[in-house]
Structure 1
Amino acid sequence: MDRATIADFKSSIFEVISTKSAKSYGSDCSIDFFTNDPRKPSRQTQKVNYGTDGLRYLDNYLPKEIFASNKNILVVRKGQPYPIADLTDPEDAVTENEEIIPTSPQRKLSTKSFGKIFNKNQNNLSESDGSPLKLQSYADFSFCDSPSYNSPAIFHRPQGVIYVPEGFTCRMSRHLVSLFNVNYTELMDQSTDVISKLPSFWSLCDGTDIQSTVLMGAIPVLYKSEAACHWGLKWTTFTQVETDDIDSIEEKVFNGRVTNNNCFARYDVVQSSAYQGTVSLEFTWKKGSKLLQKPEFCSEAVIKASVTSGDVRSPVIGLFKELTILKSFMSAITTGEINWATSKDDTLPLIDQVKELIESMKLGDAENLNRIQGDDSKQSPMDQFKLEERLDYDFTDYLWKIMITCSSYSELTASLNYIFRALSKGEFQPAVHKKNKTMMAQLIRDSFTGRLVIPHMGGIFPLKLVVEMGIEKLRCDYAHAFVSLDLTTLVHLNYFIQTDLELQEKINNLEKLHHSLEMVVMIHLFLGLPYSFISSCVQKMLKYYESKPVNISEVFEFPVPTKQDLLATVKSSLPSLWSLTVQKKVGNLDLTESKVWTLTTSQPFVHLKKEDDDEKDDKRNEEKPKLFVTYREDSISILG
């Protein structure tokens, strides 16, 4: 290994670190830069200067310490840096302060064309698309055709170019890691600050050697004693075998020396391909006795979940639809654009629905009012989560339910004018709640004393009337949903249902309430956990949203007691990931070396996947499935 080669490699590494970019080394090697994402601390998501789908498994299979804050990662692979032009649109180019998450290449959505508020748009707000879910016994949605509600909130970015990385031979990888180690050793006389900025270094391997090495790397480590700081390197190698003979591997692992160990198992209860959300159960326990051992009663369990609102099979889809329409009306106020509902042949014109409502109010016809109130009852097919509607609707609540079917601006103004003329003539006196502070409620109260002045129906005023009614109605609906199910109290909801806010702030708070409700509904449906636990999940969600905006990609963690019913959920399931870890202290130092066995039912390393892997997965015998067993081993050397 000559000095020129070492110097050239050092120059390439420091150029990658300084520019936070990918760089070619030699004729067929790319050095890729990753860094921890400070904006998503709860998710071990790395960022890179290009969007590749090939390295997102790193956070699951590399030692967790390399993902601490301010830690960078260098990954070398076969090939050249991926061209950014193939991965992003020109308008989506990476700026100096913005990087792209290394998952599927991300492209900006094209702006959806909305009809101007004075023009009629034929987009149907009730359309949906998708495929049925065929999963847990707690929530059988197989009879339902459509998984998502057609809303801008749930559009997915289109797929762009996907590059799959390729690994080196084990010999070449050892050479590259050795080059990194030599350069690291030469920096031992540098300051602590300089050394601490060095990244960990990883080389992808093709698994063709006799040990089937799939990944190897070196991690700078620091040990601080009373006298000085000691620097070293942690060598880590990953080998892998595909087998259905777990017994033979088990004998090698549990050979009498492996007694003090830590076990981990992850079960994917719900996946995003089947429902607009994900739910996984993660268990940790000590002293495992066999591979793929089921979690014990002494295990610590955590639910990890994320959800995107809009699945039509959700019991709260009715609330989501109303919230989506409310946001559309609010958008009309701020941008002048809106998606109007499409008129249907079997639906009365808006003005006729208003007349029918007024006649029902005059006659006190509760049957007709209940029909208006209960229109969405058939949209909640699941009865595992009993979400009863409020019974204390006032006039503005009923009116909002009609106004959401409005198909044009002229239809809206004509209907409101009809209502105000009827009020001014004293033809009816509808009831409104005392706490209803909307403009419509105040105008109705004015009509009781003959002081009503019919407002001019022009500009955004009719839209503001409708938005206020929608906010008031949904504010009461969400409060009722949480309180009636004993999920929380009004005291804990006060922050989200306060009335002295701007319209947009009120809608933002309603979105937070809906996302919280959607989350706990999903957890309850698929895990069947008691309301006492669901209530604790609600409290955590509400606490989070008091200071954070809605983030549908956020993965929430909910510690849960390991009880019989929870263990029964995973009793007959194969974990998506199962691992056993054995740790050993290095001398008297506060450093540990690890041996980790990880079992998965599918190939975890993207650079090793073959085109026919998915077909093989489908044909496997479920009674004796093929498993990928990955073995990781650390070795620490103190250098100075």
Structure 2
Amino acid sequence: MGSKVISNAKEFYNILRSLQDEGRNDPCTFEEDIQMLKTNGDRIPVLNMYCGNQSVFICEKAVPKMNEPEDQLMTETSNCTDGDEADDDGDYVAADCDASALQTELVPEPLTIMKARQLLSWYTLSQNVNVSAVENNPALHPLWVRCDMSDPAGTAWFGAETVCMGNKVSGVKLHSVTCKGSTVDKKSLITLDELKQEHKRRCHPSSMAIKGSARFLLLGSTVVENTLIKSQSSVTVDFKWSHVESILETPPLSSTATLNIKVACGEMRSPMFEMYRELEFLQTLADGLRTGETEWMEPLESASAVNLTKAFLEELQNTAKTPQDQTAKPAETTKLKSEKDDPIFNSLLERGDLDFVEQLWVRMRKSVISYQDIGDCLKLVTEALRYGDIKPWIHRDSSSSLSKLILQSYHKQIDHVSLTGLTPVHMLLEMGLDKMRKDYINYLIGEELTTLNHLCYYLSTDVDLQEQVIRLRKLHHLLEIILTCSTFLGLPYDRLFLLTQSCLQHYKTYPYDENHEFKLQIKPALISHFYQKEHPVVWGVEVSSGNGAREVRTSLQLSDRPLVDHIIFDTDYTNETVNGGSEDPAFFSTMVCCGLANFA
């Protein structure tokens, strides 16, 4: 019996070792029904508390693959979409569709408690150098096994990780994760004293440290008059503090606090929404140049682009003929109706010094619906310049092709421009890039959040137009983040300045990503009015003893959603509220216990 156990432990070790050494993340199968894979601990919520982004092994029940002949799959697909089937076949069609939907949403399957214990024993045995039949094996990544909660404690995970002294494995930490379904009854939750006693029972420490943590949602999906308004943006705050006195206590003002900021562009409640629509039109032009196909946006003006351009040129001509204005810079022309509709946008980002090219861009981007429109509008402008009908002013640092033609018109020498093919689109895209860059510069520098030197990467015209658009999108996303924190959270200047520098530095290196969470340290007092009367989405307490690799922790996490994804919890309460909309929120309870086994 002993030799069989040792043999199984060696086989198990060899598979884990190959996963660890080969650097691959593809799952492999063990004993036909067990799937083993390597991943990062932070990808699994309940393991993130202990493992962070450390590599771990996951063992779970292998889900059988349903391979079907291609022709049968095509038949089922057509059945799912064929609305002319007879009623008798309807049930079968629905069943096929449901089965297909289920296959795309397969969740990880747990192993039995007995099997999980066996895998942990093999892992531990393979690392114990004191077992005569075991070689001096190098340390493995931590092992975590999904469990079916069939034991009285309701264990959802078992885990094991090696403890090393130098290069030698000296012991193993054994973890267990137990879970309970959501409840609004706070009296049923474990108390702080009971958690301490559980830690003492397992570890017999001479002293203990207690730390608290909590996460609150400051901005995200919300409920207004019983209607859920979904949002892809979210701002949460993580608190950490010592000297916890009770379960679910409010984080003290002495806590350390970190904002986690994730902002999606294009939400209507954003003060940047109008700028986003402008950016989307600019992106449409860039996509058209890249692919040769353009999906035009709905025009925001009822008048055609050509008529708006004609009216704009006539207004400039009339202004130039007025004696008192002949030597002065042309006054700003009458604003379009759609420019007056958003006071938030106007107050935050609109500039009062739009030059001729920028004003032309504003009119064209709200009315253009074809390549022909662009060509016709620019033809009107170039002819007016060539014949001296207008002498518009432009900013000295304008870099678009049309701006260069205007400079030439001052000397009555204009290069011939063939407004055919994609040339007009290219010219209009340059106009938009020029205008929007100035919009962003105006706000960032006006608010003293950065300097031109720090913006060189984003303002460079030495790269191609597609790359310029990408960098402009990054700059727009930065503004979305800053204005979200300024408008909705009211963060002070020093925090906004640090956040701006962090975003600018990040996007110099990394690609555009609206799912990235930006971090910002903050004093709890600055946002106390947001969280002190709200319920946390996650609240935790941790009791620990020991030091370094031999530290042992017992923790409790209370959350508004289950931290275990392979178990469906039975509960009498459905937590449908968001942002603390319930007087008595329901919490799922997750407890992680740890014990240390030394290889004496």
- TM-score tier (shorter): 0.7 to 0.9
Partners of 2:585 and 2:232 lie apart in 1 by 28
Deviations 1:529-567 (A, max 9, x none): 22332222111111222233322222111111221x412
TM-score (norm 2): 0.80
1:486 aligns with 2:448: yes
Q: Which secondary structure state, in structure 2, belongs to the residue aligned with residue 527 of structure 1? A: coil
- Say whether the 8 Å CA contact 2:107–2:566 is kept in structure 1: yes
Aligned residue number for residue 324 of structure 2: none
1:597 aligns with 2:556: yes
User: Is the alpha carbon distance of 1:434 and 1:350 closer, same or farther for their aligned partners in structure 2, counting shifts above 3 Å?
Assistant: same
Deviations 1:48-69 (A, max 9, x none): xxxxxxxx324434x126x33x
1:179 aligns with 2:137: no
Residue 539 of structure 1 is aligned with which of 501, 507, 513? 501
Residue 241 of structure 2 is aligned with which of 281, 285, 289? 285
User: Is the alpha carbon distance of 1:79 and 1:388 closer, same or farther for their aligned partners in structure 2, counting shifts above 3 Å?
Assistant: closer
Unaligned runs of 5+ in 1: 37-43, 47-55, 91-157
- Say whether the 8 Å CA contact 1:185–1:639 is kept in structure 2: yes
Residue 24 of structure 1 is aligned with which of 21, 29, 37? 29
TM-score (norm 1): 0.75
Q: What is the CA distance between 1:298 and its match in structure 2?
A: 1.0
Aligned residue number for residue 297 of structure 2: 341
Aligned residue number for residue 588 of structure 2: 628
Q: What is the CA distance between 1:500 and its match in structure 2?
A: 3.8
Aligned residue number for residue 335 of structure 2: 371
Aligned residue number for residue 98 of structure 2: none
Q: Which one-letter code corresponds to 1:178 in the other structure?
A: S
User: Is the alpha carbon distance of 1:178 and 1:252 closer, same or farther for their aligned partners in structure 2, counting shifts above 3 Å?
Assistant: same
Q: What is the CA distance between 1:283 and its match in structure 2?
A: 0.5
Partners of 1:398 and 1:621 lie apart in 2 by 46
Q: What is the CA distance between 1:295 and its match in structure 2?
A: 1.0
- Say whether the 8 Å CA contact 1:203–1:215 is kept in structure 2: yes
- Say whether the 8 Å CA contact 2:482–2:500 is kept in structure 1: yes
Partners of 1:453 and 1:22 lie apart in 2 by 64
Q: Which secondary structure state, in structure 2, belongs to the residue aligned with residue 177 of structure 1? A: helix
Residue 270 of structure 2 is aligned with which of 314, 339, 354? 314
Q: What is the CA distance between 1:358 and its match in structure 2?
A: 0.6
More helix by share: 2
Structure having the higher Rg: 2
- Say whether the 8 Å CA contact 2:45–2:563 is kept in structure 1: yes
Aligned residue number for residue 583 of structure 1: 544
Q: Which secondary structure state, in structure 1, belongs to the residue aligned with residue 138 of structure 2? A: helix
Aligned residue number for residue 218 of structure 1: 160
- Say whether the 8 Å CA contact 1:236–1:635 is kept in structure 2: yes
User: Is the alpha carbon distance of 1:538 and 1:356 closer, same or farther for their aligned partners in structure 2, counting shifts above 3 Å?
Assistant: same
User: Is the alpha carbon distance of 1:415 and 1:625 closer, same or farther for their aligned partners in structure 2, counting shifts above 3 Å?
Assistant: closer
Q: Which secondary structure state, in structure 2, belongs to the residue aligned with residue 505 of structure 1? A: helix
Q: Which secondary structure state, in structure 2, belongs to the residue aligned with residue 265 of structure 1? A: strand
Aligned residue number for residue 497 of structure 1: 459
The aligned length equals 535
Residue 386 of structure 2 is aligned with which of 418, 424, 432? 424
1:509-588 equivalence runs, <5 A? 509-563=471-525, 565-585=526-546
Partners of 2:157 and 2:528 lie apart in 1 by 34
Q: What is the CA distance between 1:472 and its match in structure 2?
A: 0.8
Q: Which one-letter code corresponds to 1:493 in the other structure?
A: L
Aligned residue number for residue 397 of structure 1: 358
Q: Which secondary structure state, in structure 2, belongs to the residue aligned with residue 338 of structure 1? A: coil
Q: Which secondary structure state, in structure 1, belongs to the residue aligned with residue 118 of structure 2? A: helix
- Say whether the 8 Å CA contact 1:265–1:578 is kept in structure 2: yes
1:637 aligns with 2:597: yes
1:190-201 equivalence runs, <5 A? 195-196=138-139, 198-201=140-143
User: Which structure is richer in relative contact order (CA contacts within 8 A, separation 6 or more)?
Assistant: 2
- Say whether the 8 Å CA contact 1:602–1:627 is kept in structure 2: yes
Q: What is the CA distance between 1:338 and its match in structure 2?
A: 1.9
Partners of 2:259 and 2:406 lie apart in 1 by 49
Deviations 1:589-624 (A, max 9, x none): 7521111111112322111224x7596224999444
Q: Which one-letter code corresponds to 2:264 in the other structure?
A: T
1:60 aligns with 2:48: yes
- Say whether the 8 Å CA contact 2:213–2:540 is kept in structure 1: yes
Deviations 1:173-204 (A, max 9, x none): 21221122223336989898x624x2221122
Aligned residue number for residue 186 of structure 2: 245
Q: Which moved more, 1:351-360 or 1:182-191?
A: 182-191
1:245-264 equivalence runs, <5 A? 245-246=186-187, 249-250=190-191, 251-253=193-195, 260-264=209-213
Q: What is the CA distance between 1:80 and its match in structure 2?
A: 2.9
- Say whether the 8 Å CA contact 1:303–1:560 is kept in structure 2: yes
Instruction: Name the % identity.
Output: 23
CA RMSD between the two structures: 3.4
Aligned residue number for residue 108 of structure 1: none
Partners of 1:536 and 1:607 lie apart in 2 by 40
Aligned residue number for residue 150 of structure 1: none
User: Is the alpha carbon distance of 1:381 and 1:491 closer, same or farther for their aligned partners in structure 2, counting shifts above 3 Å?
Assistant: same
Q: Which one-letter code corresponds to 1:64 in the other structure?
A: C
User: Is the alpha carbon distance of 1:607 and 1:247 closer, same or farther for their aligned partners in structure 2, counting shifts above 3 Å?
Assistant: closer
User: Is the alpha carbon distance of 1:595 and 1:186 closer, same or farther for their aligned partners in structure 2, counting shifts above 3 Å?
Assistant: same
Partners of 1:279 and 1:305 lie apart in 2 by 5
Partners of 1:348 and 1:572 lie apart in 2 by 51
1:99-498 equivalence runs, <5 A? 161-185=104-128, 195-196=138-139, 198-224=140-166, 229-242=168-181, 243=183, 244-246=185-187, 249-250=190-191, 251-253=193-195, 260-271=209-220, 274-342=230-298, 347-364=302-319, 369-372=333-336, 375-379=338-342, 386-404=347-365, 405-498=367-460
Q: Which secondary structure state, in structure 1, belongs to the residue aligned with residue 385 of structure 2? A: helix
